[in-house]
């Protein structure tokens, strides 16, 4: 067996060669360059002796190669399974965590050749080292080295091509262990049950039959479960059932959706059945360049979030509209038909801008953060300790100026500022609901990135149920899955295909329908989608 071979491996640190763009003389196997690969029948190999103890249920070995984890200069065997890259140390006979990464967490992988300095008797020959670089979405940059002319690197690389990016959703390891053991396997039933919990109707519970015959449209004094989007005709990226104000009819909901980008109208994500305060979400309103477009139906729907306070003499509760974007970005979206609400047009509301940057700024910041970690982390992508490269200083002491420079570089990435803005915004939203008993409507541009982050985190703060395993599952299913977060685009995951319905891929740029002018209810003009445009998200 490969991992039991008694071999001494020459350290790759002896070479002064560094990984650079000029060293990459072979094609890259990255998410950007590789097409999705159809897996008819994964080719599995017999499990090597002693490895079965480390494998999960239904995890199968596809390929293996003996080599060195350059980051730690440790020899061992690299296995490709239908779930992960797994590096087993030759010395400790144990899994090395740094060199083990789930396939779904791999962002890119490249074959690299490094040319080493020639010896005095190797004038015509330039020795090379053949490496495999794996870049993870978790910031890891892992380097594996293989013996030349053994074709083991090729076997591992080709296995990654086949298995790391399958065409069908069902080819992912998550679906390889067969049907779920849980009795409630219907996401629709689970969603409706979560709505019933929020409404405070303890005596009722949903089932598949109730979903089929439409008997799930329950209500309390303030809110109701609506089936207005049961066929997804109103909004393809919203759930089949929505939690809406009881006072708003489905006919008015159909009118209101036309005034929001991608028809993602204001819908309730969380509500307090004791006080009547709600946390709602939507996309941006289609107010246009002059910010003068209005919709009676949208204003009535948003106003219905302001229910009466428990003390009737105090009137209706306040509404905050939390726009996740910087104010300038919201105004710039007006040129493409979008924009933000005016407090003069919505009942008893206050508009707040959180200043969270768009997805393009986040990606740039993530690149800078990755560079920072590769420079100042404990182990970098070339296998050398960054502490040694920078004069031997450590976090616990040593050169203070070097430490200050490191912290400054981290600050320049902007990543911590982005995280701070999201966390501060979520805490602010939760405080308005919990302390003031106010309602909050959250949106960004499309309402599926920043909006989802803010609403989900605020819900975690507001409701201890979401801090349980079952509750956290309900939160992810409701606010991330049901409300159409574009996982396929954001995380590089496949869509449903084959005998199942093909889900459309959503672009990160909005496609705004034209905005309805202010008219009497029931007389809104028909709308047709505009061509896709570039805008500030």
Just list the catalytic residues.
444
CA–CA separation, 37 and 214 (whole Å): 40
Which run of H or E residues covers position 149?
A: none
CA–CA separation, 348 and 106 (whole Å): 48
What's the burial of 36, exposed, middle or buried (CB within 10 Å: 0-12/13-18/19+)? middle
Q: Which residues contact 10 (CB under 8 A, 6 or more apart)?
A: none
Contact between 429 and 440 under an 8 Å Cβ cutoff? The reply is: yes
CA–CA separation, 537 and 531 (whole Å): 17
Strand partners, 29: 109
Strand partners, 61: 45, 81
CA–CA separation, 195 and 239 (whole Å): 12
Cα–chain center distance at 332: 25
Q: What is the DSSP letter of 219?
A: B
CA–CA separation, 168 and 176 (whole Å): 12
Which run of H or E residues covers position 85?
A: strand 84-89
H-type helices in 168-264, by residue range? 187-199, 208-212, 250-256
Number of other CB atoms surrounding residue 315 within 10 Å: 11
Sign of CA dihedral 46, 50, 51, 55: positive
- Alpha-carbon separation of residue 501 from 169, 173, 371, 496, 497 (angstroms): 12, 21, 40, 6, 6
CA–CA separation, 23 and 28 (whole Å): 12
């Amino acid at each position: 067996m490969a991992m039991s071979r008694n071999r001494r491996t020459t350290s790759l640190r002896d070479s002064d060669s560094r990984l650079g763009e000029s060293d990459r003389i072979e094609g890259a196997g990255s998410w950007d360059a590789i097409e999705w690969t159809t897996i008819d029948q994964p080719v599995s190999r017999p499990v090597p002796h002693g490895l079965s103890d480390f494998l999960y249920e239904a995890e199968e070995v596809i390929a293996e190669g003996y080599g060195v984890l350059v980051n730690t200069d440790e020899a061992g065997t690299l296995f490709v399974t239908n779930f992960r890259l797994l590096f087993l140390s030759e010395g400790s006979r144990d899994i090395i965590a740094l060199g083990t990464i789930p396939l779904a967490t791999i962002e890119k992988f490249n074959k690299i050749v490094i040319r080493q300095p020639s010896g005095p008797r190797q004038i015509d020959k330039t020795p090379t080292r053949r490496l495999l670089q794996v870049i993870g979405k978790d910031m890891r940059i892992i380097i594996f080295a293989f013996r030349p002319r053994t074709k083991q690197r090729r076997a591992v690389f080709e296995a990654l091509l086949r298995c790391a990016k399958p065409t069908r959703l069902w080819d992912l390891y998550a679906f390889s262990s067969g049907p779920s053991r849980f009795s409630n396997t219907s996401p629709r039933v689970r969603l409706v049950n979560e709505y019933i919990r929020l409404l405070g109707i303890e005596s009722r519970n949903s089932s598949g039959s109730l979903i089929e015959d439409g008997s799930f449209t329950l209500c309390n004094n303030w809110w109701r479960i609506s089936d207005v989007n049961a066929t997804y005709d109103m909004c393809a990226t919203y759930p089949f059932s929505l939690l809406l104000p009881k006072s708003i009819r489905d006919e008015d909901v159909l009118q209101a959706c036309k005034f929001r980008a991608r028809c993602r109208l204001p819908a309730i994500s969380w509500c307090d059945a004791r006080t009547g305060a709600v946390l709602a979400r939507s996309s941006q309103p289609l107010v246009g360049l002059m910010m003068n477009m209005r919709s009676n139906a949208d204003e009535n729907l948003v106003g219905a979030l302001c229910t009466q306070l428990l003390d009737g003499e105090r009137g209706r509760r306040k509404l905050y509209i939390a726009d996740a974007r910087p104010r300038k970005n919201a105004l710039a979206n007006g040129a493409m038909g979008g924009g933000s609400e005016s407090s003069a047009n919505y009942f008893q509301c206050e508009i707040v801008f959180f200043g969270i940057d768009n997805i393009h700024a986040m990606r740039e910041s993530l690149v800078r953060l990755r560079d920072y970690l590769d420079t100042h982390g404990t182990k970098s992508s070339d296998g050398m300790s960054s502490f040694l490269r920078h004069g031997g200083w450590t976090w616990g002491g040593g050169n203070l100026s070097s430490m200050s420079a490191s912290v400054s570089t981290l600050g320049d990435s902007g990543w911590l500022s982005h995280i701070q803005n999201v966390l501060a915004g979520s805490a602010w939203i939760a405080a308005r609901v919990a302390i003031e008993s106010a309602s909050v409507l959250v949106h960004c541009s499309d309402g599926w990135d920043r909006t989802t982050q803010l609403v989900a985190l605020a819900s975690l703060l507001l409701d201890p149920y979401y801090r349980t395993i079952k509750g956290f599952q309900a939160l992810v299913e409701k606010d991330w899955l049901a409300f159409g977060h574009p996982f396929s685009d954001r995380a590089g995951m496949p869509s449903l295909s084959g005998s199942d319905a093909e889900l459309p891929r959503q672009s990160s740029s909005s496609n705004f329908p034209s905005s309805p002018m202010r008219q009497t209810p029931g007389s809104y003009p028909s709308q047709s989608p505009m061509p896709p445009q570039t805008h500030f998200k």
